């Protein structure tokens, strides 16, 4: 009888721990940030999007992003207009997506506050062109929120983004993309 | 004879420079001062994007749209852009409205489950069925202002 009670208590405790430490399941946000930055001797160009949808599966490391191209805000309206109409054709190709994995998910202890790093690999799609992307992400776990930061570079020509010769000197071949998202456990 | 030509050339050059400067520095759309191109229910704009995204993009994107819908929740998780969610189509999707931080006090004053009228620039519909982890789809309005 005592053995049964101990077994029941152990199973209940383990079950409760698994439910409350949030180390598994899906972590998500709809308000992630993506900034891109182009630096040339002629001009710096930057834009921000604060409504990035992203989520990861803490068991498998599966990672997904979806971002609306038109929702990147530039300091100058004319830059934003050219970006959408001339380069990204964002009415025809409204979204950019990333699907990949947090390669060392097991190294990120979501149940313990701290800072962790993991390689990220996956496929970035823009304008119906898909290319491999890899980077290192830093995860900061604090009070149940998982902040992830990562940067990588994108070459516009890889995604069939045609830059006219007249403005080529103003737009870098290496656009720096910075991601900053606060994930919370959803289920 | 030469003098008037020089004056004309200088005037044209000044005019071109003025036009170029104004074009380069033209302001972003002021939603508050713009007439809504379309006025519709949040559920209607969500269904339009969910049914035919390309057609909805052509019809609504980049335009100032006024929507009316039930406020499901406020999402203040990004201090750079306070956001609210309007009911779109049950749990399948929502209309996500983003505000400038200067509008935060007005956003905070909204009551959950009340019917609100919002005006903002339509950016499209974020999320997709293929991205299973992301869950619901959101029709997105930016630079929003609250009408009531």
A73 touches chain B (CB under 8 A): yes
Residue A76 inside a domain? The answer is yes
Residues of the domain holding A33: 25-185
The pLDDT score that the predictor gives to residue A5 is 59
- Look at chain A and report how many structural domains it folds into: 1
Q: For position B133, what pLDDT does the model report?
A: 96
Whether A14 maps to a domain, the answer reads: no
Nearest CA in chain B to A78: B24
CATH number of domain containing A37: 2.40.128.110
What tokens were used for B123? 């950016």
- The tens-digit pLDDT sequence of chain B (148 residues) is 788 899 999 999 888 888 888 887 888 999 999 999 999 999 999 999 999 999 999 999 999 999 999 999 999 999 999 999 999 887 778 999 999 999 999 999 999 999 999 999 999 999 988 999 998 899 999 999 999 8
Chain B residues inside the 8 Å CB shell of A28: 133-135
Q: What is the pLDDT of residues A45-75, one digit of tens each?
A: 999 999 999 999 999 999 999 999 999 999 9
Per CB-CB distance under 8 Å, the chain A contacts of B128 are 66, 95, 97
Q: What number is the ipTM of this complex?
A: 0.90
Both tokens of A42, joined, read: 């002629």
Domains, chain B, ranges and CATH? 31-146 (2.40.50.140)
Cβ partners under 8 Å of residue A27, min gap 6: A55, A56, A58, A110, A146, A183, A184, A185, A186
Secondary structure (DSSP) of B52-84: -HHHHHHHHTTSEEEEEEEEEEEE-S-TTS-EE
- What integer pLDDT is reported at residue B136 of this predicted model? 87
Å from B7 to nearest chain A CA?
Answer: 30
Residue A20 resides in a domain: no
| Residue contact B142–A97, C-beta within 8 A | no
Interface list for chain B against chain A, based on CB atoms closer than 8 Å: 23-29, 53-54, 57-58, 61-62, 75, 77-78, 80-81, 83, 96, 98, 123-128, 131-135, 138, 140, 142
Token representation of residue A33: 């940030």
């Amino acid at each position: 009888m005592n053995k049964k009670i101990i077994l029941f208590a152990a199973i209940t405790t383990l079950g409760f721990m698994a439910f409350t430490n949030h180390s598994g399941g899906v972590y998500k946000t709809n308000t992630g940030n993506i900034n891109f930055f182009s630096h040339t001797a002629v001009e710096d160009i930057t834009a921000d999007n604060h409504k990035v949808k992203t989520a990861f599966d803490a068991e498998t490391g599966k990672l997904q992003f979806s971002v609306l191209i038109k929702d990147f805000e530039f300091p100058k309206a004319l830059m934003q207009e050219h970006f959408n109409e001339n380069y990204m054709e964002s009415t025809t190709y409204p979204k950019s997506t990333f699907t990949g994995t947090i390669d060392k998910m097991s190294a990120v202890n979501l149940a313990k506050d701290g800072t962790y790093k993991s390689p990220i690999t996956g496929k970035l799609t823009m304008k119906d062109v898909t290319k491999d992307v890899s980077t290192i992400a830093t995860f900061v776990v604090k009070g149940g929120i998982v902040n992830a930061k990562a940067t990588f570079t994108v070459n516009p020509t890889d995604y069939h983004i045609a830059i006219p010769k007249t403005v080529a000197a103003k737009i870098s071949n290496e656009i720096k993309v910075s991601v900053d998202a606060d994930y919370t456990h959803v289920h | 004879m030469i003098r008037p030509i020089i004056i004309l050339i200088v005037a044209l050059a000044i005019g071109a420079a003025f036009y170029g400067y104004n074009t380069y520095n033209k302001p972003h759309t002021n939603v508050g001062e713009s007439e809504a191109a379309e006025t519709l229910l949040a559920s209607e704009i969500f269904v339009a994007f969910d049914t035919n995204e390309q057609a909805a993009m052509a019809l609504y994107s980049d335009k100032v749209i006024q929507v009316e819908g039930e406020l499901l929740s406020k999402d203040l998780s990004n201090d750079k852009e306070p956001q609210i969610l309007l009911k779109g189509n049950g749990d399948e999707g929502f209309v996500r409205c983003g505000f400038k931080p200067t509008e935060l006090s007005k956003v905070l004053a909204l009551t959950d489950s009340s019917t609100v009228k919002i005006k903002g620039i339509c950016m499209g519909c974020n999320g997709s069925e293929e991205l299973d982890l992301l869950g619901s789809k959101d029709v997105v309005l930016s630079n929003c202002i609250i009408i009531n």
